[in-house]
Amino acid sequence: MDSRYSVGEDIWRDWINDESVLARTSEDRTAVMELCIKAVQEEPASIVLWSLYGEWVWSTYAVANGFSNGDEDTWTAEDMMICKEVFTRDMVLSVWTRAVEATKWRMDESHVVWNRYLELIMHNFPENPSPQMIEEVQMLYLTRLQIPHAAWDATSQSFWPFISKYKSDGWEEIMTTANEIAAPAKKQTNMRVEFEMEVTRSYRAEDKTALYNAYARYLDWEAKHKSKGAFDTELRCALYERALLRFPTLVEWWLDYADYMTSLDASSPVILPLLERATRHCPWSGELWFRRLLRVEIETGSYDEVEGVKHKATNSGLLPTGGIEEILVVYSAWCSYLRRRAFAPTASDDDVDMAEMAISGVLTDIEVEGKKTYGAEFKGDPLWRIEKIYIKFLTQARRIVEAREFWRKLIATLGSSYDFWLKYYDWELLIWSMERNVFKPVNNAADNSPHKASAVLREAMAQRNLDWPEKIHELYANHVYTHDETVLEIQRAHVDLRRSMKYLKIRREREAAAAAAAAEAATQAQMQDPSQVADSIESSGGAVPNKRKREAEGTAHDDAATKRSKLRESESSPQSNSQAPLSELAQLKRDREHNTITVTHLPSTIAEKGLRRFFADCGNILSINIVVDEQNPTATATVEFETHDDVLAAKTRDAKKIDDHEIHIQAGILSTLYVTNYPPSWAEDEIQTLFKDYGTIVSVRLPSLKYNQRRRFCYVQFLTAEEARAALQLHNKVVDGQHRLVVLMSDPHAKKNRHGATAEGREVHIGNIEHTATEQEIREFFEQSGKVESVRMIKAVNGRFTGTAFVIYNTASQDEAQQSLSLNQKPLQSRLLRVTLATDKSSRDAANKKHGTTKVFDTSSGNNAESATSAASPDANGAGNETSDDTAMTKRERTIALLHLPETVNDTRVHGFFSAFGAIRKLTIRRDKGGALVEFANVEDAGKATMSADPSTLGPECYIGEVAELFKTGNKDQGKKPEANTGSASQSKVVRPAIVSRPGQRAGGASARGGRKPGLGVKRANVAAPASGPVENGEDMTKKSNDDFRAMFLAGKGEGQGEKGKEEQ
């Protein structure tokens, strides 16, 4: 396997150790040495492998020469004699010398190899050495001290005793000179000490994610600080080697390393070996194979070698794992080479024929591979790279007729693309200009006009599914006047142009009408079943206008780039406003995983507007997330496009520059996790904390609870797929002692199959049951239709049966539930039953969304535990049905309203927030109003929450207001959060005075309801209105400040305590 792919440092180490143990003869020991040579060639910066290599030759040399004892069972006299000839002292020192040279720029551990090398040299150092030997060791020290390394102080300290012993007369001068020449090395070491410490800590902690982040920051720093002084190139290359030794499958780092070496010296002989190692480590990367093919062509130009590399790439079997894109990149490099070779000055006819056959074969292979991967719907490369190469080949070969036929053949698959027609038109103009003598004046005769180019534009206008017909119209109008067409042709052009524009207007009107109908249908479907929204959009037949707003690329049209940009902005503005509701519906069915790219090495000052402008011509952008690295002046962004074709177009901008930053683009596939079954009280912060140790989190997306309150899952998007895969180890982890996490790789095409009694149609809902009925009576009654698996009776807070039950029939008899519907309106005891099939909870939530969702809590025990839940509460508007007089009188005072509640916040979080202020009796979430009603058990707790609670932790726009204000808004998007005052914390919120009931006083004033109904002998008390302000229903309606409310609350509390004291006396 090592002959085709790299195995990595760890496998090489274990392999060498195993072979060393098994070595019994001189041939085996020589084989171990050859294995070590292969290992250090594959990983030239590995301290571990060089140490194994050096120690193996030294130990073999020592045993063969009698310096140490070997195993008598494995060492024969013949073996010792052979090894004595092979493993000589010069050979041992040569191995260690090469080890020192290969690893000397590794700041972290190069001293391990150098110290061992010095130890071997000093092993037989005589007591009275010659001046030459002393000079050699001195130069060894001085050379080492000039190289930055972590153990520089230790090296310097070991140098002093040597000089003191052998050159005591010149000790001070030598040490002064050593410190002067070593100053640059010490400076470079100090500049990197912080990064080195971070890498060392992460490595010792065995935290691979932290180690990756440490190396990434280190490499970014090396790339940005280009004027660091001496040893810049050597240290940066060594850092790449170290990073790739730990993360050998990171394609981006291999490409960065190769780009850096190419920028230093484009003709450097080390680039090709580097790319060979890269493709052995990452054989699935088409971009690395592409670079290697180019490099072989540059250095050798040999057809056999280029073909050999191409065969290695395509025969590895790993290219398809990266998708058809990786295969296309390799084939593009191969076909480009064949075309250049076919028309080289020394080319023969055989070279031309060979190129034609090979390019045609590649087109066939791409079609076969694409259909194998994507099915019959595969329409070829959306960027038609191989096709462009073939057209250029035919054009260079002067086979214009065949080239034109090939253009015509491509219309079937690319006829809807404006880019295709633009390039086809440009090609016809090129051929027209080649066929004319452009240097000789010609008459404006009809034969001299580019008729074929005109025909291309007319055919483009005739396409009914063209993505950008407006630009074709503009191009056609400009073409007619530019190329001196005859008057008849100009007249014809005006007729064709007007007809096409008229049809386009009708098409746009139909699309707008279909889009509006789809939006209306989707809205109606949402009210019944949210899952039908995507089907409604699809059933419109793609009625969503896909008017592309991008610029045409090409040298012939660059002059109008600025004008086109302004034109796109003016065209897109009104359309974006009118289509806003439709965009929201379209987002319900997104393929984020396959339609997202990750852009790295962005400037830290990049804004969303700048990114949108940069990718404007690639397609429709749905969303952008930008993450700024706080330690380095860079940013990373994820850009979600509407279609996968837009992603392919965006990837062509890889290695472009934004504000002098060369960006890198990679597809964001498999970088998002689906997470569920976390505690219901968790918010985005808790999820961020859980996953932050595994990499850079781009976003955490929580679902909307507008139509299904029970949804509890989220999507966590990481920067890279490697980070997302590392976080999968949290799957099945138990948090808070009871919730077992589900962490899976997000698959937008996966559909969760519903299961359970309700989904299988085996559950029956029964209403209007006699309250005295028992479970056994219900079971016996419904076993008339089949075997009953279970009976669930719904009970109230006090434990009494509510008259509602659910019956589940046996799994093996799914038709029994249908048969039980015949028992509808049949009597059980004294009541006629209502029997229906049970429906899904989420469907009930959607159907009853106007009433909200309510939870009632048991406050009798003081634990505020939930006792009952209903999908829709009839009293969600605040109307109570309690029988207690005290409850009825004080419910209004005990209820507060929470406004501008985000759709992603569930009732558990709302309950957890307000329960800190006191026991909660009832919580109602009103998604249609964008808020919630919180009913406390005590009036005092409601007042305390009103005055001191800060609900901004639930949402930035959340605030506490009047119950009437919640229902007045009508929609959470209407209204505006009141401005905060500049006073105290209690004054900074909009508060409603909590009316405190005192002994002898009815809640809400004398005229408040709740007393005896007036009749014979009963009169309502007439309460005079106070002079302080207007009175309504017996209450003072004068506007009060927050201080007034606080004073009323405290006065009521004190007065109540005083009355209690009087009663006790």
Interval 995-1031: pLDDT, tens: 333 333 333 443 333 444 333 333 333 333 333 444 4
Angle, helices 385-396/418-435, rounded to nearest 10 degrees: 10
> How many Å apart are CA 504 and CA 73, to the nearest integer?
92
Cβ neighbors of 133 (< 8 A, separation 6 or more) are 125, 126
For residues 656-683, b (16+ Cβ closer than 10 Å) or e, as one string?
eebeebebbbbbbbbbbbbbeebeeebb
Please state, in angstroms and rounded to a whole number, the distance separating the CA atoms of residues 217 and 206: 18
Containing H/E element for 697?
strand 697-701
CB of 207 closer than 8 Å to CB of 200 = no
Structural domains of the chain sorted by starting position, each given as residue range(s) with its CATH number in brackets: 9-228 (1.25.40), 249-414 (1.25.40), 763-839 (3.30.70.330), 848-1003 (3.30.70.330)
DSSP of 568-624, one letter per residue?
Answer: HHHHHHHHHHHTHHHHHHHTTS--TTTSEEEEEEEETT--HHHHHHHTTTT--EEEE
Structure tokens belonging to residue 333: 């490099």
pLDDT at 306: 92
What integer best gives the mean pLDDT of the chain? 77
Task: Determine the pLDDT at residue 534.
Answer: 39
- Tokens found for residue 779: 């079971």
Instruction: Provide the pLDDT for residue 834.
Output: 92
Cα–Cα distance, 617 to 766 (Å, whole number)? 60
What are the tens digits of pLDDT across the range 466-523?
A: 888 888 888 888 887 777 566 677 677 777 777 777 777 777 777 777 777 777 676 6
How high is the pLDDT of residue 819?
84
Q: Is the pLDDT of residue 371 over 90?
A: no
Instruction: Give the start-end residues of each E strand in 424-465.
Output: none
Asked if residue 439 has pLDDT above 60, the reply is no
Chain Cα centroid distance, residue 251: 18
In which element (H, E) is residue 548 found?
A: none
Structure tokens at 1037: 């309606």
Distances (CA, A) of 342 to 306, 396, 402, 449, 900: 14, 10, 17, 33, 69
Neighbours of 612 (CB within 10 A): 12
Residue length of the chain: 1065
DSSP state of 975: S
**pLDDT, tens digit (0-9, with 9 covering 90-100), for 170-189:** 888 888 888 888 898 888 88
User: What torsion, rounded to 10 degrees, do the Cα atoms 1046, 1048, 1054, 1060 define?
Assistant: -140
| pTM for the predicted model, two decimal places | 0.52
Which band of pLDDT confidence, cut at 50, 70 and 90, is reported for residue 279? Answer: very high
Cα dihedral 1038, 1040, 1045, 1046 in deg (nearest 10): -140
Residue 838 near residue 795, CB atoms below 8 Å: no
Q: What is the pLDDT of residue 45?
A: 92
Cα-based angle 276, 649, 367 (whole degrees, multiple of 5)? 70
User: Nearest-CA neighbor of 701 among 546, 596, 846?
Assistant: 596
794 contacts 802 by C-beta, under 8 angstroms = yes
Q: What percent of the chain has pLDDT over 90?
A: 24
Residue in 926, 885, 925 with CA at minimum distance from that of residue 908: 925
Which single residue is written with the structure tokens 């799957």? 731
Helices (H), 895-1041: 907-914, 939-948, 963-969
Which pLDDT score, from 0 to 100, does residue 625 have?
82
**Of 342-346, 460-464, 540-544, highest mean pLDDT:** 342-346
- 3-7, 359-363, 633-637: which has the minimum mean pLDDT? 3-7
- What pLDDT score does 274 carry? 93
Per-residue pLDDT averaged across 792-801, rounded? 83
% of residues, the chain, pLDDT over 70: 75
Q: Would you tell me how many other CB atoms lie within 10 Å of the CB of residue 94?
A: 12
The arithmetic mean of pLDDT across residues 412-434, rounded, is: 90
Residues sharing a CB contact under 8 Å with residue 563, sequence separation 6 or more, in sequence order: none
Helix (H) or strand (E) segment spanning residue 657: strand 657-658
Across 1039-1064, average pLDDT: 53
Backbone dihedral angles phi then psi of residue 247, each to the nearest 5 degrees: -130, 70
